[in-house]
Structure 1
Amino acid sequence: MSTPDPQPPVPDASRPESKDRIYRSPAGMAGGALLLLIAGWLGIDALVSGHGRTPWLALASLILIVPLVTAFTLRPAVYANEDRLRIRNPFRVIVLPWGKVATLRSSYSNEVVDTSGTKYQLWAIPVSLRARKKVAKQQARGAAAGSSGGRMGRTSAFGRPSSVHAEPTRAQTDQIMDDLRELQEARAATEGAQGEVSVRWAYEVMGPAAAGAILLAILLAVG
């Protein structure tokens, strides 16, 4: 007696077609962790050893400061896959299908512009003018070394040609933007990259921060 062939599994439509590339700011995360550590140390010390209104002021300050520091340092991230770009900024989450992205541009900040002309800043990919200047200097030194070395180029102490052209040609965040542009150009016309832009406010951050601000204002007002 033969047994029926097993049916193929039904694909899960809710699962993304490709894995997200995640971009975050290591410097921002490190700075945020340090600020939270300092705020927690000072706040807990005031809660435990403070007198009078001091513990209440410390509590209100922590309720206000912790969400704000988290929002601007640990929270920002950019998620990109073959269908869409998701931007998690301090107070908003923006989802843009690649078909709705008009351009990604870099000047003093990195931002994406949708087809309606609305701009969204990429907090997780900050521009580093210092990194740009460093790369420019490295390129200038490499060009000068290459021209002075003639056709044979420079050689190392072991008699092998040195890697003059091994210096980075782009700052890290500029390279990330180049990668996102390439992904957008390749995927903008595909069927899975169509849809509408969605924007959601981060009430999980704004709510606690507003509560802390109101509590602190009341405590300062009543003296």
Structure 2
Amino acid sequence: MAQATPDERELHNLIKSGDDLAFSRLCDKYLESTIKKVRQFNRQAHSIDNSIISEVVVDSFYAYLHNPEKFNPDKQTLERFLVIDAEGDLKNAWAKRKKHYQKFEVIKNEVEFDEQFRNSESGRIITLKTPSQMLIDKEADGILSTELKKHFNSEKDIEMAILILSRERDTGRYAAILEITHLQFEEQQREVKRNKDRIKKVLDRKMKGKQF
């Protein structure tokens, strides 16, 4: 089994020693390639939720930063360790995410609804709205907004909840609501994930079974 290269050992030792620039070097060298490899090996998760893999990989990098002893340079390369570690975390995160999707039946079949159907009699195109689009339409009438205000005191939380219910995946949109676009992308992802998880717990607990 391949062992860590001299460069990997040097970087690992810098991580262990708490060097200020070590984590930045780690991300510069391995973050993008690790995300790509994990995506290649987990196409189903990426096709359904294209943000989950990058979020999990970033979290796994931070986990390694805070507990570098989990990596043994005598047993494998650092690159291989980072991929395997992220895949293990992804398996757990994906299982939780699928349970979350199941709780929101109103949006779980969105792909099936997001198609155009041809009327066989008139030949005209009929576009069926997705459940998420229906939610947003009704939110415009104040129904969804009124319900969310019962459970969230912050306008930012309400805006994020609406994006979550509409299955918005763009980290940038959440970052804009949280006013953290000035942070580095990895920090934005981490903060967005923390807030999304918090809001999802409220939605799961307070709004399960609600009809809008």
Which of the five TM-score ranges fits, normalised by the shorter chain? Answer: under 0.3
The structure with the largest strand share of the pair is: 1
Structure showing greater Rg: 1
The structure with the largest helix share of the pair is: 2
Q: Which structure carries more relative contact order (alpha carbon 8 Å, separation 6+)?
A: 1
Calculate the TM-score normalised by the size of structure 1.
0.23
